[in-house]
């Protein structure tokens, strides 16, 4: 389990997190959402030990992440948004270099994922497009078999069919009990995949709840007009999308973009609702 306790973090004098608490129990796909610059990537970096918090702790299975102990690093893989790969290398050579350090690595899984994502394992990185490089790295990262997978903007650069393949692959991996944390601002790409959802704002966590809890507390309604009690409403081709407090207990289909906007515009109300 990943646990963040009373964590403060700042870049020089710019505070990013102030006294935040979060926990990521195993076996789910967490969606880490937030506006640009709220610290989504920073949080992932803190979790895998690339950044040291100014105060508080972040532990992975009880190990302080910034110590970057080999045992902790064997359990976690982080795929950053931008990676510069060795031009002359190939995805196969890339995993061959990493494999000795991960007892859980599976060559079969790697080849299977590469096939599913339609990338040749022996093709040089320099001959690949950005999207193909990204797909190779996704396959490599997931084939390491780590318990925790941290993905920063994983769908950036992927074409539409690849995004669908990516979702299907992640669903299978999550079924194996792995913990996946996806940081993204392309919320539509991961809609119906992420659960629970964590929404960050400057310095704080605005929402940390499962989809079930969200739909218990909020009602997503498609109607002809803007409701008075709407936390957020948006004009859509078929009418208005309203997000309102769920007072009747009725179930609805969550719209992740509407949720995101509703949370950002009604921080205090949302805080009260989800207390």
Partner 1 sequence: MSQTFDIKRFGQLVLHDVKRCSPRIGTVGAVMISELTFTPLMVLSQNFLTQDPHGAGYRLMLMVLMSAFLASMMPMQLYPNVGKKKFGIYFALLPASKWEKYLSMVLLSLVLVPLALMVANVAIDSLLTAVQAPYYHKYLWQSEALQWIEPAMVCNCALAFIGPTLGFIYANAIQNKTCRNIMSIVLWLWLMGGVFSMMILEMADLAGMGWYIVAAQALLAVLMGFLGWNKMKKMNY
Where do the H-state alpha helices sit in the chain? Answer: 40-47, 70-74, 91-98, 107-116, 130-143, 160-175, 211-217, 256-265, 267-273
The single residue among 14, 36, 84, 253 that binds partner 1, judged by CB under 8 A, is 84
Region binding partner 1 by CB under 8 A among candidate stretches 72-80, 109-117, 165-173, 256-264: 72-80
Region binding partner 1 by CB under 8 A among candidate stretches 85-93, 123-131, 166-174, 261-269: 85-93
Region binding partner 1 by CB under 8 A among candidate stretches 31-39, 79-87, 155-163, 192-200: 79-87
Contact 80, 182 (CB under 8 A): no
Query: Does residue number 249 form part of the binding site for partner 1 (CB under 8 A)?
Result: no
Give least dist CB 194 to partner 1, A. 23
Distance (Å, whole) CA 152 – CA 51: 15
The single residue among 17, 24, 30, 78 that binds partner 1, judged by CB under 8 A, is 78
Query: Does residue number 45 form part of the binding site for partner 1 (CB under 8 A)?
Result: yes
The single residue among 62, 100, 224, 249 that binds partner 1, judged by CB under 8 A, is 100
- Say which residue the tokens 């396959």 belong to: 139
Region binding partner 1 by CB under 8 A among candidate stretches 76-84, 160-168, 174-182, 248-256: 76-84
Query: Does residue number 50 form part of the binding site for partner 1 (CB under 8 A)?
Result: yes
Query: Does residue number 74 form part of the binding site for partner 1 (CB under 8 A)?
Result: yes
Give the CA diameter of the chain. Answer: 60
Region binding partner 1 by CB under 8 A among candidate stretches 28-36, 82-90, 161-169, 236-244: 82-90
Neighbours of 164 (CB within 10 A): 12
What DSSP state is assigned to residue 185?
S
Query: Does residue number 31 form part of the binding site for partner 1 (CB under 8 A)?
Result: no
Query: Does residue number 102 form part of the binding site for partner 1 (CB under 8 A)?
Result: yes
The single residue among 69, 111, 187, 226 that binds partner 1, judged by CB under 8 A, is 69
Nearer residue to partner 1 within complex by CB, 30 or 78: 78
Query: Does residue number 253 form part of the binding site for partner 1 (CB under 8 A)?
Result: no
Give least dist CB 101 to partner 1, A. 4
Distance (Å, whole) CA 217 – CA 19: 25
Query: Does residue number 88 form part of the binding site for partner 1 (CB under 8 A)?
Result: yes
Contact 239, 223 (CB under 8 A): yes
Distance (Å, whole) CA 110 – CA 104: 12
Own/partner long-range contacts of 10-18 (Cβ < 8 Å, ≥24 apart): 10/54, 11/42, 15/203, 16/42, 16/202, 16/203, 17/42, 17/43, 17/53, 17/203, 17/204, 18/203, 18/204
Nearer residue to partner 1 within complex by CB, 140 or 207: 140
Query: Does residue number 187 form part of the binding site for partner 1 (CB under 8 A)?
Result: no
Contact 123, 135 (CB under 8 A): no
Distance (Å, whole) CA 185 – CA 196: 16
Q: Which residues bind partner 1 (CB under 8 A)?
A: 45, 48-52, 68-71, 73-74, 76-78, 80, 82-84, 86-89, 97-98, 100-102
């Amino acid at each position: 389990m990943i646990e963040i306790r009373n964590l403060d973090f700042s870049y020089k004098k710019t505070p990013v997190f102030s006294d935040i608490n979060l926990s990521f129990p195993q076996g789910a796909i967490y969606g880490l959402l937030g506006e640009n610059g709220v610290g989504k990537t920073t949080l992932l970096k803190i979790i895998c030990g690339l950044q040291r918090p100014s105060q508080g702790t972040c532990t992975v299975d009880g190990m302080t992440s910034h110590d970057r102990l080999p045992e902790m690093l064997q359990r976690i893989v982080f795929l950053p948004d931008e990676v510069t790969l060795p031009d002359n290398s190939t995805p196969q050579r890339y995993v061959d270099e990493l494999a000795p350090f991960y007892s859980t690595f599976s060559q079969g899984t790697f080849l299977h994922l590469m096939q599913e994502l339609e990338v040749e394992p022996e093709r040089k990185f320099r001959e690949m497009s950005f999207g193909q490089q990204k797909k190779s790295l996704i396959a490599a990262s997931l084939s390491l078999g780590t318990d925790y997978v941290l993905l920063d903007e994983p769908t950036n650069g992927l074409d539409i069919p690849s995004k669908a393949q990516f979702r299907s692959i992640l669903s299978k991996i999550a079924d194996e009990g792995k913990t996946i944390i996806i940081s993204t601002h392309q919320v539509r790409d991961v809609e119906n995949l992420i659960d629970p959802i964590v929404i960050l704002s400057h310095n704080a966590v605005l929402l940390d709840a499962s989809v079930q809890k969200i739909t218990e507390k909020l009602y997503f309604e498609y109607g002809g007009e803007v409701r008075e009690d709407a936390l957020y409403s948006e004009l859509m081709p078929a009418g208005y999308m309203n997000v309102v407090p769920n007072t009747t207990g009725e179930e609805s289909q969550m719209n992740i973009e509407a949720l995101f906007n509703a949370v950002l515009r009604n921080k205090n109300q949302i805080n009260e609702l989800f207390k």
